[in-house]
Amino acid sequence: MAKTIPESGYKAIFNNISAAILLIDTDAPYYTILDVNEAYLKATNSNRETLVGKSVFGAFPANPSDEEAKNIEMTIFSFEQAITNKTPHTMSDYRYDIPVRGTDQFEERYWTTTNTPVLDAYGKVAYFIHSPANVTELIKLREKEIASVEALKNHRQHLYSTFMQAPVGIAIFRGADYVVDLINPSLCTIYSKTPEEMMGRSVFDVLPHTKGQGFDKLLHQVRLTGMPFKGQGYPASLMRNGELQTVYFDFVYEPFREVDGTISGVIAVATEVTEQITAKQLIEDAEERTRLAVDAVGLGTYDLNLETGEMITTKIFANIFGFDEPVPRADYVSVFHADDRGLRDLAHKEAAVSGKLFYEARVIWPDRSIHWARVEGKTYYDANKKPVRILGTLLDITEQKQAKEDQQKLMALLADSEQLLRNITTAAPTGLWMSDETGDITYVNQTWMDWTGLGYEENLARGWTNAIVPEDRRKVRDKFLSDLTGRTLYEAEFRINHVDGSMHWCVATGSPQYRNDGTFTGYIGACVDITEQKNLQQQKDDFIGIASHELKTPVTSIKAYTQVLERMLLKKGEAREAGMINKMDGQLNRLTSLIGDLLDVTKINSGKLQFNDRDFDFNDLVKELIEDLQRTTDKHVLVENLVPTGIVHGDKERIGQVITNLITNAIKYSPQADKIIIHTSVKNNEVSLCVQDFGIGIAPDKLEKVFEQFYRVSGDMQHTFPGLGLGLYISSEIIKREGGRIWVSSKHGEGSTFCFALPLKK
């Protein structure tokens, strides 16, 4: 027989089950509570009396957590659903706080409540079971989960931004090709690339030049072995601003592990330390330089411990003492020259007090040679002012000492040679002088003083000019000043009065002097007595003058006789004899002109050449002369290339003499040519005449000399040309005296052009 539970049994179950249950009437809008079980009372902290017979909304009013009474609305809706649909209806996860007993506080509670309708025999809803389940724990748990998911999200975000903003470069390289999976801006900056350029590409494709630098090997090693690699101050060549630069890194390569532990790539973290490394190198360089500098000047250094007597020295220190390598202090002390030991001891005593060590002493090397050493040092004291240490340097000053000795010897020698020089300059039969850059005389030698009787001081500055005869003074001074301004070689001829009353001719020369830097410092010059030569020259001039004068008269009368003789012979019809006499007359003309030249020269030299200046038409003169001279040559045509020139004021005969000289020279020195061009022109109130020939020409170095007295170009060609070498000298003197200029241009072997210019009468 089937056992059945008695009616009261259900009541017991109702009260003992753990689910909280409320039985509620369908009497809307009250929804009176019909019954409540123990679990419900417990769950809601309430008691039976306050509930049964009450409206459910009266018993459980809207509580503070439910200000808008959403719970009531929701509950009514659920009740209605359950009643109308006659099926259970569930309200999920709503909050309804319960009062804490004995306080006015509420406790947070979440509920999921099912309202289950109970039907009567007629199928009508008699009442319904309201069964709330406390889901607070569950809800709390869920909230926590959401919060922690949120936190995780935040954490990730945080990590990412940390990664992105990290001041160190970070990247993940994936696979054997080290494809950039992730890279932060810092590392992009280091690589000098944008993130877009780097992401998703093999790092060695983007930075091809890094491949040969060992980074690929390191990455392989880390990826294959899983052992991290740490590099410090690692150099790398990177392209920056279009050029390859060496930069330095501290970096770490870590294997990148998947969740299952397999290594799929490498995490690289890198900081650039170029600046630090460069700074370090700079310091090292500076240290090295100091060391080199100390070595370069050959300074030995030492560190002497005064308490133990121990001394640390450098190799150079040892070398100066004659040792190959540093030796103990006693060994150094032993090689001091016996005469200098006392001095050294004294210096050390002094250093203990003054703090400074200084002495120079001789040391003897193993080969017995003596060397000088200069010892310098600084004393260091302990807290009790006791000297404990000396640090310092050592210098080999042997050469200096020797140089000083040599210098002294040289000075003595110099003094000797100065005396010698003075003797020589005094003994020289030549005046010697020096001037400063302004032309003031700063030195004259004894010879000059002896000549002039002027004392040293009296000669200084312009004083020396007092020795010059008054007529020559101005000329000499002007010449000197103009050479001084032009910094040209100075040369002048003048007369000086000797202290004995005699007058002497001098030729003074001076050459400009310059300092090494090119600044002009003045003149050094000499003054040679040429009185003797002048006298001889005078005698020669006198002789030529007298001789030519004496020759002139007989030649003139011979010439007169020949002319008479020629006419007589012609009358007699003796043409052959007359021809011979005519030739003789020609030679006499030549003799006359030679004598004339000689006479002119003596006149010029004694300043007695007479000029008879008047106005004449230059063109007429030129034409006349050409006509005459054309008759003297059959070979050459004298080509006239003339312009109207106007009136010249001067000595017509003398100027004619010049033109004749130039044309006869042109004829004489162009035996192979057939023409001579005579060309005149007027410019700047000056008339010039040029005689151009196509003859032997003149070598450039001879060009200026042809105007000198008795000058004839020497050379094979000249032997065939007779002459005294006076024509051009006389011509140039005449032109100068008439206020004009004379010049020549020539090409050796091709011909010459002699020109002169004279002022025209205005």
Residues found near Mg ion in the complex (CB under 5 A): 665, 727
Under the binding rule (CB under 6 A), the answer on residue 728 touching ligand ATP is: yes
Among 111, 256, 523, 669, binds ligand ATP (CB under 6 A): 669
599 contacts 548 by C-beta, under 8 angstroms: yes
Q: Calculate the alpha carbon distances from 20 to 37, 113, 504, 551 in Å.
A: 7, 10, 160, 179
Q: Which does 37 bind (CB under 5 to 8 A by kind): ligand ATP, Mg ion, none?
A: none
Tell me whether the omega of the peptide bond preceding residue 6 falls within 30 degrees of 0, making it cis: no
Residue closer to ligand ATP, measured from CB, 182 or 696: 696
Residue closer to ligand ATP, measured from CB, 335 or 673: 673
Among 170, 729, 733, 756, binds ligand ATP (CB under 6 A): 729
126 contacts 100 by C-beta, under 8 angstroms: no
Q: Which does 695 bind (CB under 5 to 8 A by kind): ligand ATP, Mg ion, none?
A: ligand ATP
Residue closer to ligand ATP, measured from CB, 545 or 697: 697
Query: Pattern of binders to ligand ATP over 429-448, x per CB under 6 A?
Result: --------------------
Among the listed ranges 199-207, 307-315, 325-333, 721-729, the one in contact with ligand ATP (CB under 6 A) is 721-729
Give dist(CA 159, CA 165) in Å, integer: 10
Residue closer to ligand ATP, measured from CB, 115 or 665: 665
Within 13 A of 491's CA, how many CA atoms are on the CB side?
Answer: 1
Among 725, 741, 743, 761, binds ligand ATP (CB under 6 A): 725
Under the binding rule (CB under 6 A), the answer on residue 597 touching ligand ATP is: yes
Torsion of CA 185, 190, 193, 198, to 10 degrees: -70
Give dist(CA 623, CA 380) in Å, integer: 109
Q: Which does 207 bind (CB under 5 to 8 A by kind): Mg ion, ligand ATP, none?
A: none
Residue closer to Mg ion, measured from CB, 81 or 593: 593
Q: Which does 713 bind (CB under 5 to 8 A by kind): Mg ion, ligand ATP, none?
A: ligand ATP
Q: Which does 522 bind (CB under 5 to 8 A by kind): Mg ion, ligand ATP, none?
A: none
Give dist(CA 611, CA 621) in Å, integer: 17
Query: Pattern of binders to ligand ATP over 371-410, x per CB under 6 A?
Result: ----------------------------------------
Residue closer to ligand ATP, measured from CB, 41 or 713: 713
Give dist(CA 430, CA 420) in Å, integer: 16
For residue 735 the two structure tokens come to: 């032109």
Cα 309 → chain centroid: 52
Under the binding rule (CB under 6 A), the answer on residue 666 touching ligand ATP is: yes
Question: Which residue of this chain has its Cβ atom nearest to Mg ion in the complex?
Answer: 727
CB of 727 to Mg ion, least distance (A): 3
Pick from 592, 667, 599: nearest CA to 634: 667
Q: Is 555 left (phi over 0), alpha (psi -120 to 50) or beta?
A: alpha
690 contacts 683 by C-beta, under 8 angstroms: no
Q: What is the 3-state secondary structure (H, E, C) of 428-497?
A: CCEEEEEECCCCCEEEECHHHHHHHCCCHHHHCECHHHHHECHHHHHHHHHHHHHHHHHCCCEEEEEEEE
DSSP state of 61: P
Query: Pattern of binders to ligand ATP over 676-715, x per CB under 6 A?
Result: -----------------x-xxxx-------x----xxx--
CB of 571 to Mg ion, least distance (A): 37
Residue closer to ligand ATP, measured from CB, 650 or 697: 697
The site for ligand ATP, by CB under 6 A, has a size of 23
Torsion of CA 274, 278, 284, 288, to 10 degrees: 140
Which string of b and e fits 236-273 if b means at least 16 CB within 10 Å? bebeeeeeeeebbbbbbbbbbeeeeeeeebbbbbbbbb
Residue closer to Mg ion, measured from CB, 60 or 754: 754
CB of 459 to Mg ion, least distance (A): 46
Under the binding rule (CB under 6 A), the answer on residue 665 touching ligand ATP is: yes
Residue closer to Mg ion, measured from CB, 270 or 662: 662
First-last CA distance in the chain: 180
Among the listed ranges 94-102, 219-227, 314-322, 716-724, the one in contact with ligand ATP (CB under 6 A) is 716-724
**Packing angle, helices 652-668 and 618-630, rounded to 10:** 40
Under the binding rule (CB under 6 A), the answer on residue 723 touching ligand ATP is: yes
Binding region for ligand ATP (CB under 6 A)? 597, 661, 665-666, 669, 693, 695-698, 706, 711-713, 718, 723-729, 752
